[in-house]
Amino acid sequence: MSKEFPSRWDVLEDNLHADCRIFEVYKRRFRRQSDGVESDFFVLDTNDWVNVLAITPNDELVLVRQFRYGTKEYSLEPPGGVIEKGENPIVAGLRELEEETGYVGKDARLIGQARPNAAILSNHCYFVLVEGVHKTAKIAFDEHEELLTELYPVQNLKSMVANNEITHSIGLNAILKLILHRGL
C-alpha cells in the first residue's frame, strides 16, 4: 500500500491585511491542486524565535515566570525571544538569556527547532542549549517585559511537565528536545 500525500495548495494571492508591530497578518488565497477548491486563509508572518535551555553548573535549568497577555496568566518557560533578521539563533539565544535573566554562558549549541503553529504561523523556533551558565550580567528587560528568574533541577523537568507546572507549548517543545538530548 503506497502512501499519498494530500494535494498541494497553490498561492493565488498574498496581501498584507494588518501590520501589528510584532507580526504581520497576511490574507492568502489558495487553490487545491487536486480539485481546484479555493479559499482564503490568514497567516501571521513573524521573525523566527529562540528558546534557551540554560543549565547551571549545579544542573539546574534557568526558567522565567512572566505574565502572558494572550492567556492573562503567568507562564513558566525558558527564556527566549525574537531572532533579528539575519541573526544567528545561537547569538540571539545568548543575547536573550543575558537580557532576560542576567545569566551568561559560552558553551552554546543548537539542539533543535520546531514550527510553533504551522496552521497560522510562518516562522521557526530554535532551541539553544547553554551549559555552565553563571549570573553575572545586569538584566535588561524590553519595555513590555517583567520576568522573575527561577532555577529548577533538570531531573525534575519530567514531573513538572506531567504536573502542568510548565504549559507554554513552545517551552514544552524546548524541554522535550533537552530531555531527548540528555537521554533523560
Domains of the chain: 9-45 (no CATH), 49-182 (3.90.79.10)
Rounded to the nearest integer, the mean pLDDT of the chain is: 95
Q: What is the mean pLDDT of residues 10-24?
A: 95
Q: Residue 140 burial by CB count (10 A; 0-12/13-18/19+): exposed, middle or buried?
A: exposed
The tally of CA atoms less than 13 A away on the side-chain side of residue 52 is 36
Between 145 and 121, residue with greater pLDDT: 121
* pLDDT the model gives residue 145: 80
Kind of pairing, strands 73-77 and 60-68? antiparallel
**pLDDT tier at 144, thresholds 50, 70, 90:** confident
